[in-house]
Amino acid sequence: MTSTTRARTAEETALHHAQNAGRVGAGVFDARGLLTSLPGALRKLDPRHQIRNPVMFVVWAGSVLVTVFAIADPSTFTILIAAWLWFTVLFASLAEAVAEGRGKAQAESLRRTTRETVAIRLLEGGQREEVPGTSLRPGDRVLVEAGMLVPGDGDIVEGIATVDESAVTGESAPVIRESGGDRSAVTGGTTVLSDRVVVRITSKPGESFVDRMIALVEGASRQKTPNEVALTILLSTLTIIFLLAVVALQPMAGYSGSTQSVVVLTALLVCLIPTTIGALLSAIGIAGMDRLVQRNVLATSGKAVEAAGDVSTLLLDKTGTITFGNRAATAFIPAEGATGESLAAAARLASLADPTPEGRSIVELAEKEHPGIQADPAHGDAVPFTARTRMSGIDIGSRRVRKGATDAVRAWAREHRATLPEGITRVTDDIARRGGTPLVVVEDTGSGIVTHGVIQLSDVVKPGMRERFARLREMGIRTVMITGDNPLTAKAIASEAGVDDYLAEAKPEDKMALIHREQEGGRLVAMTGDGTNDAPALAASDVGVAMNTGTSAAKEAGNMVDLDSDPTKLIEIVAIGKQLLITRGALTTFSIANDLAKYFAILPAMFLAIHPQLGALNIMRLATPQSAILSAVIFNALIIVALIPLALRGVRYTPTTASGLLRRNLLVYGLGGVVAPFAGIWLIDLLVRLIPGIG
């Protein structure tokens, strides 16, 4: 697949997911969805579930208490108050059930991918045996041929194949998975379309990627985030304060000669405590994670989603993230005194045991340009590439052939009391300036170091990167590209991609050091990557987004997995994180602000009989004390239903300053929270006053 085709496919996939997200968001609150979620909402009336939410548990307890009074001494007023208190609890449960319902629908489509499979397990000695996929354990090696389902999560250790991942990612175009490099991971339930591969299983039955995904989108493993816990504590504290205030009100009412009924006091308490945000808090958190799933991002915790909203530094691995990652050998440039054939032969020899795509491309280019080079050696000890040495090669007797980064090879030659020719530095600098990656090929013949020349590897920056990084800059996020390339290559790629800074010749410990430096400054750090060497940094960062094309180690280390393997998806992740925080703050502001109108509705009504002058506070001109109290209780219940779509959709996020965000929040949701109840309670009172025994 060409880079142009890949770019077009990525854009079409992004558009497809955006359209799907729009359709889901638009239809989140239709009548059918409500009816489907109603049984789940009724089950949540169980006190064992309600007690997890202190605010709504108080409402539940008040509903039970008023119901007892309605049965013992029935009256129209008491029965209606009891009914609407139960509706308040039900609507709160319905908000959570609707949010969970979308996740369960997505989980059901994922569950269809977890069909029972038969795996071909490879035994020592080359024997094969057919076993159920559920019997596989980490470390087992299985053979997967064209047309077969991958029986479990794992890494390809032999071969290359095209894989259909549409069951998991929604992307219809097949992808290439191969041993070595950062595109070796395969997911259980996907289908191999061509060739055959050997997969080493990395997950236990029931703990696969799809299994975890199902549990997360269903909400079964969702835990409260630190901000959510803090807000719950605040709401609980406010509830206790209002509870004490209402309890203390009765002795004062008795002293003034206007003892209040338990029903009225309960109605007052329910209207004064922050029931709106208490009812919607869980739905907001579930909806935030659900919006990520709609965009093909799996978050392993709500904490990561919240942290994304406060990220100020983004670290990106270059290969496979900013660039397509399919670096390939494009030219052999012999050193002075060497020939193209000798360079190709040495480069091929140093790459025979290199399983990475780059290593295979070197072998292919050498055989294509020089078909007559010598055959494979009969014996030899391979020297694998490591992030620390940044070299690979082979030892055959007294011959030691090496290829690697310029400075690494120069240091290796210096250890053998040799230096690289000056012309090599000019060639590698020129390749690096043009955005390529130079590899120097040298050989220790036993009698001295021979420099054969330079291999040029080329990579391509993914389209649209500059524009996306500009958007991150508008959000106040600083982008840093991390690469093992030399500084010149890193500078060229960074300039082309439009990142703010770069870290060249980075080892795993360098990435960790950079993350710790950023975090020590009080900044939250996000990291995207796809390779095993990215795993420590992904684990150390506050938000670690692993690419689905990456290795199993990377996906295990991160707290998010991008199924589309689009590194710039972090723009959407950050926006969703900010949207989650803004939505929670906006509805908290609204919930506390709309208590003001309830004061004007209920408190004057309670004491109007003994203090007629309180009638001046009846600015809504409510008909009777009973209609005022009942109207406030009904509004308190209905406002929850009215705000469910906003809680699930989220408040729209636009890049702005903190002061601008606070100003908008106070004007829209603070002032709106004051005005809306006055209008709502007044309109409800117009209907309530028509009820016999109330008006």
Give 335-394 pLDDT, tens digit per residue: 988 888 889 989 988 888 777 778 888 988 998 888 877 666 657 788 887 767 778 888
How far apart, in whole angstroms, are the C-alpha atoms of residue 59 and residue 57? 5
79-93 pLDDT tens trace: 999 999 999 999 999
Clarify whether 317 is annotated catalytic.
yes
- pLDDT confidence bin for 8, thresholds 50/70/90: very low
> Are the C-beta atoms of residues 495 and 318 closer than 8 Å to each other?
no
**Does 257 score more than 80 pLDDT?**
no
Nearest to 281 by CA among 230, 320, 315, 239: 230
Q: Which stretches does DSSP call E strand in 468-627?
A: 478-482, 501-503, 524-529, 543-547, 560-562
Annotated binding site for Mg(2+): 530, 534
| Residues 561-575, mean pLDDT to the nearest whole number | 80
Written as six digits, the tokens of 295 are 């965009």
**Does 237 score more than 80 pLDDT?**
yes
Based on the number of CB atoms within 10 Å of its own CB, is 618 exposed (0-12), middle (13-18) or buried (19 or more)? middle
**Does 423 score more than 90 pLDDT?**
no
The one-character DSSP state at 324 is -
Write down the pLDDT at residue 5.
34
263-294 pLDDT tens trace: 989 998 998 899 999 999 888 888 887 788 77
Write down the pLDDT at residue 210.
67
Most confident of the following: 160-174, 309-323, 630-644 = 630-644
Q: Specify the DSSP element, H or E, that contains 298.
A: strand 297-299
- pLDDT confidence bin for 429, thresholds 50/70/90: confident
How far apart, in whole angstroms, are the C-alpha atoms of residue 574 and residue 221? 22
Write down the pLDDT at residue 653.
79
The one-character DSSP state at 550 is S
Nearest to 544 by CA among 323, 303, 184: 303
How far apart, in whole angstroms, are the C-alpha atoms of residue 279 and residue 646? 13
Q: Is 376 helix (H, G, I), strand (E, B) or coil?
A: coil
Summary mean pLDDT of the chain: 81
**Does 19 score more than 50 pLDDT?**
no
Write down the pLDDT at residue 18.
33
- pLDDT confidence bin for 107, thresholds 50/70/90: low
How far apart, in whole angstroms, are the C-alpha atoms of residue 107 and residue 62? 36
- pLDDT confidence bin for 219, thresholds 50/70/90: low
Structure-model confidence comparison of residues 167 and 15, the more confident one = 167
**Does 9 score more than 50 pLDDT?**
no
Question: Which listed residue (182, 211, 290, 317) is catalytic?
Answer: 317
The residues, ordered by sequence, that sit 6+ positions from 545 with a Cβ below 8 Å of its Cβ are 297, 526, 527, 528, 529, 538, 558, 560, 561, 562, 567, 569, 570, 573
397-412 pLDDT tens trace: 888 999 988 888 999 9
Written as six digits, the tokens of 596 are 């003001």
471-520 pLDDT tens trace: 888 878 889 988 877 788 788 888 888 899 998 888 778 888 899 988 88
Annotated binding site for ATP: 354, 358, 385-392, 403
Write down the pLDDT at residue 611.
66
146-171 pLDDT tens trace: 888 888 888 888 888 888 876 665 55
| Residue for token pair 């908000």 | 95
| Residues 300-309, mean pLDDT to the nearest whole number | 78
Written as six digits, the tokens of 467 are 């524009």
- pLDDT confidence bin for 332, thresholds 50/70/90: very high
The residues, ordered by sequence, that sit 6+ positions from 515 with a Cβ below 8 Å of its Cβ are 315, 525, 527, 537, 540, 541
Annotated binding site: 354, 358, 385-392, 403, 530, 534
> Are the C-beta atoms of residues 503 and 479 closer than 8 Å to each other?
no
Give the percent of the chain with pLDDT over 90.
Answer: 14
How far apart, in whole angstroms, are the C-alpha atoms of residue 571 and residue 179? 30
Give the percent of the chain with pLDDT over 70.
Answer: 84
| Residues 558-583, mean pLDDT to the nearest whole number | 83
Lowest mean pLDDT among 25-34, 259-268, 542-551: 25-34
How many C-alpha atoms does 487 have within 13 Å on its Cβ side?
A: 1
> Checking DSSP bridges between strand 328-334 and strand 191-192, what pairing results, if any?
unpaired
- pLDDT confidence bin for 215, thresholds 50/70/90: low
Three-state secondary structure string covering 228-268: HHHHHHHHHHHHHHHHHHHHHHHHHHHHCCCCCCHHHHHHH
Please tell me the pTM assigned to this model: 0.65
Torsion of CA 495, 501, 507, 513, to 10 degrees: 180
How far apart, in whole angstroms, are the C-alpha atoms of residue 255 and residue 249? 10
Sign of CA dihedral 653, 658, 661, 666: positive
**Does 301 score more than 90 pLDDT?**
no
Q: Which domains does the chain have, with CATH numbers?
A: 29-103+217-292+575-617+630-689 (no CATH), 297-322+462-563 (3.40.50.1000), 330-398+409-422+436-453 (3.40.1110.10)
Write down the pLDDT at residue 377.
64
Beta bridge partners of 160: 178
